[in-house]
């Protein structure tokens, strides 16, 4: 009978060790799951703001060359525009060519969306039309 009392204490110690390690492993798995959930949340937030960012970029004044905008929910947009080409269309009417009152500009825009220490970079080509202050001229 005396040998069985010592065996009972040893069983309790081993059971406590197993229980403690099981709790530690469960807590670790919860932490990993929370971290993955947070990364998925950040990714979803950035992805949901991309169409809004593209629409905003299309309406920006590209002559500013660069800028930063807050587009809500803690997401920031930083952009930089480079002029690729500009063109003023010519319309042929009978014997004369007439310059359009509009000029076309093609820009390439590099932009970055940032949210909670995560950022994604994108590139977009933008076509903008601006009215010239000059009236249509005939070129013979």
Assigned token pair, 108: 């390439």
User: Helix or strand or coil: residue 8?
Assistant: helix
Residue range of the domain that includes 98: 2-139
This model's pTM is above 0.75: no
Contacts for 100 with CB less than 8 Å, ≥ 6 apart: 88, 89, 90, 91, 132, 136
Q: What's the structural domain count of the chain?
A: 1
* Tens-digit pLDDT profile for residues 27-44: 999 999 999 999 999 999
* Mean pLDDT score, 53-70: 92
* Tens-digit pLDDT profile for residues 79-119: 999 999 999 888 888 778 888 888 899 999 999 999 999 99
Amino acid 5: pLDDT: 57
């Amino acid at each position: 009978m005396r040998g069985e009392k010592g065996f009972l204490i040893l069983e309790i110690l081993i059971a406590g060790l197993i229980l403690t390690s099981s709790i530690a492993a469960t807590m670790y798995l919860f932490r990993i799951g929370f971290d993955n959930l947070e990364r998925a949340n950040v990714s979803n937030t950035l992805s949901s703001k991309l169409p809004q960012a593209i629409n905003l970029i299309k309406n920006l004044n590209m002559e500013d060359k660069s800028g930063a905008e807050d587009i809500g929910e803690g997401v920031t947009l930083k952009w930089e525009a480079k002029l690729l080409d500009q063109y003023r269309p010519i319309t042929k009417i009978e014997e004369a060519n007439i310059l359009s009152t509009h000029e076309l500009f093609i820009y390439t825009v590099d932009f970055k969306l940032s949210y909670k220490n995560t950022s994604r970079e994108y590139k977009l080509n933008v076509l903008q039309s601006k009215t010239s202050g000059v009236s249509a001229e005939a070129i013979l």
